Amino acid sequence: METTMTDSGASYSRQGQVQVHFITNFPDIELPEGKRQLLVPTNVRRYGLSQILNSESMLGTPAPIPFDFLINGTFLRTTLEEYLTANGLSSETTLNLQYVRSLIPPLYEASFEHDDWVSCVDILSRSSVAGIWDGSEVIAGQERILSGSYDGLLRVWNKSGQSIATSASSSAGGHTSSIKSARFISPTQIASSGLDRTIRVWKYTEAEDHFSAELKPILELYGHKGSIDSIDVHGPSNRILSASADGTIGLWTTLKNSAPPASAELLTSGPSAKRRKIATSTSTPQRGPLSTIKSHTSPITAAIFNPLDATVAYSASQDHTVRTFDLTTSSLVDTRTTSHPLLALTALPGISSQLLAAGTSARHITLLDPRISAQSTQVMTLRGHTNKIVSIAPDPESNYGLVSGSHDGTCRVWDLRSSRHGTKDEGGGLVGEAVYVVERESAKGGKRPVGGEGIKVFGVQWNKDVGIVSGGEDKMVQVNRGRGVTRPDTT
């Protein structure tokens, strides 16, 4: 039966109405069959629709549940009337409204202070790839946060903000300059890289009480002639992938007996050579790359393993391109050219197929379909940052969420279902807007500089068990809630 719904708590006009069909994927909040189709005022927004659903004649919830609504996979951010107009639909149309519990803001939880800028972060937990690869489950409460800093040191933290391990100084086998990237390979192994043009592999050992730990250098890798700004790791194959300002990609093994010798020329020149001559007390093995790939024409800012196939790599460069490589043959497979220098890259599961998200110097994120058969290079553009985007991480609990870190001093959470048609000035196409903006807690109370001066974000990661972790120019590692941000948390 067709019903006209005007909630007693709202004064809606009866002049404009549209028929809607309420649907949900959550059985506990599903309407009975006879109540799903309604006539509702066209001037209602999300809040009004939420009131209607919660009313006694509908769900009759004891306490109101905030809802979000999707039409054709996109969040409703306007009135129904504005949606109909924007999509060229008449009020005679029946709209399928999918409702979900409202998303939870990524609330601030904690900050850990450093002596210098924090360039990168990573997370070890039972749900992180390093925790899963190892097979030995990380115990709840013993999750770890890894940070790399411009002071050349790595630090490992517990969730309470205690620094339980700090890497060796340059005189004891550590980095001789700023660290730019660091990753957990396993619960007992870490890789890091930086301005000293080296990758270092560390053995990580915790004390029995888990309140202290040791980071011991076990391998130094040489092969790049410029800063190594990004690394990715694949634990099962003991591989490391590196992106360098020298325009090359490096593929390395963490097994010293399988690694080629390091180039004598690189060992006797460059920023680490002087330290090696002085510090003869350290005897860390030194090795070279399995292969180096020269393809890009400008500095490479990111290189990642394809999460679905570790023999495939994707890279992003200041030469405006994203490239696909076959690592078994070190050959270029595909090149996608964009309009701007690219500074960050991550792979997303995507709603129907894998996507690549690339952060640009032009303040937006470009979403690309890496499949050679793809007709269009660019799938969507995410807009909202006011400075360049230097770090991106996927949502661990959904196929359509991601978080980005920018020099504007914010992290932004995006949901690919929250999109609109771009304006002429934006070049048309699909445009996504952030569903949440995560500010730096260190700047709270003051006005955030448009360019992010003093609070630039350099690195961000998102983990199911720990949350959204970011580091930056404010010398802080910041932790924000990550569950329920793009997917309703029913736990």
Q: List, for residues 470-485, the tens digit of each pLDDT value.
A: 999 999 999 999 876 7
Q: What is the pLDDT of residue 10?
A: 40
> Which CA distances in Å does 218 have to 67, 201, 204, 208, 284?
52, 6, 10, 22, 6
pLDDT confidence of residue 265: 83
Amino acid at 419: S
**Mean pLDDT on 131-137:** 83
Region 47-67 average pLDDT: 91
| Average confidence (pLDDT) over 20-40 | 91
Query: Is 342 in a helix, a strand, or coil?
Result: strand
Q: How confident is the model at residue 350 (pLDDT cuts 50, 70, 90)?
A: confident
Residue 435: pLDDT band with limits 50, 70, 90: confident
Residue-level pLDDT at 271: 57
Residue-level pLDDT at 136:
75
pLDDT over 60 at 437, yes or no: yes
H or E element: which one contains 347?
strand 342-348
**What mean pLDDT comes out for the span 53-81?**
88
Rounded average pLDDT over 183-201: 97
pLDDT at 23 over 50: yes
pLDDT at 483: 77
Q: Round to whole Å and give the CA distance between 379 and 241.
A: 26
In whole angstroms, give the CA distance from residue 442 to residue 210: 29
Q: Which residue do the tokens 């690339």 mark?
A: 358
Beta-carbon-side half-sphere exposure of residue 229 (alpha carbons within 13 Å): 23
Q: Is pLDDT of 193 > 70?
A: yes
Q: Which residue has the higher pLDDT, 430 or 129?
A: 129
| Contacts with 35 (C-beta within 8 Å, 6 or more apart), sequence order | 3, 22, 57, 58
Indicate the pTM of the whole model: 0.84
Segment (H or E) for 275: helix 273-278
Does the pLDDT of residue 386 top 90, yes or no?
A: yes
Task: Write down the pLDDT at residue 273.
Answer: 55
- pLDDT of residue 487 exceeding 80: no
- Give residue 262's Cα distance to chain centre: 33
Q: What is the pLDDT of residue 7?
A: 41
Summarize the confidence of residues 418-434 as an average pLDDT: 76
Question: Taking all residues of the chain, what is their mean pLDDT, rounded to a whole number?
Answer: 89
* Element of type H or E holding 350: none
pLDDT band with cut points at 50, 70 and 90 for residue 12: very low
Q: Both tokens of residue 95?
A: 């709209």
Which residues does 248 contact at the CB level (< 8 Å), separation at least 6?
224, 292, 293, 294, 296, 300
pLDDT at 33 over 70: yes
Asked if pLDDT for residue 296 goes beyond 50, the answer is yes
Q: Is the per-residue pLDDT at 420 higher than 80?
A: no
- Residue 114 is predicted with a pLDDT of 93
Residue 63 has pLDDT above 90, yes or no: no
Counting every residue written for the chain, the total comes to 491
Instruction: Give the three-class secondary structure for 195.
Output: coil
Tens digit of each residue's pLDDT (9 = 90 or more) over 236-281: 999 999 999 999 999 999 999 999 999 888 776 555 555 544 444 4
- Name residue 480's beta-bridge partners: 108, 468
- Bridge partners of 181, per DSSP, are 193
Check whether 6 has a pLDDT greater than 50: no
Q: Which residue has the higher pLDDT, 270 or 114?
A: 114
Q: Is 277 helix (H, G, I), strand (E, B) or coil?
A: helix
Sheet hosting strand 198-206, strand order edge to edge: 179-186, 189-194, 198-206, 213-222, 286-287
CB 453 within 8 A of CB 407: no
Instruction: List strand residue ranges (DSSP E) for 114-206, in order.
Output: 118-124, 144-149, 154-157, 163-166, 179-186, 189-194, 198-206
At residue 264, φ and ψ (nearest 5 deg) are -60, -35
Instruction: Specify the range with the lowest mean pLDDT, choosing from 41-45, 194-198, 224-228, 392-396.
Output: 41-45
Percent with pLDDT over 90 in the chain: 68
How far apart CA 452 and CA 458 sit, in angstroms, is 11
Please say if the pLDDT value at position 164 is more than 80: yes
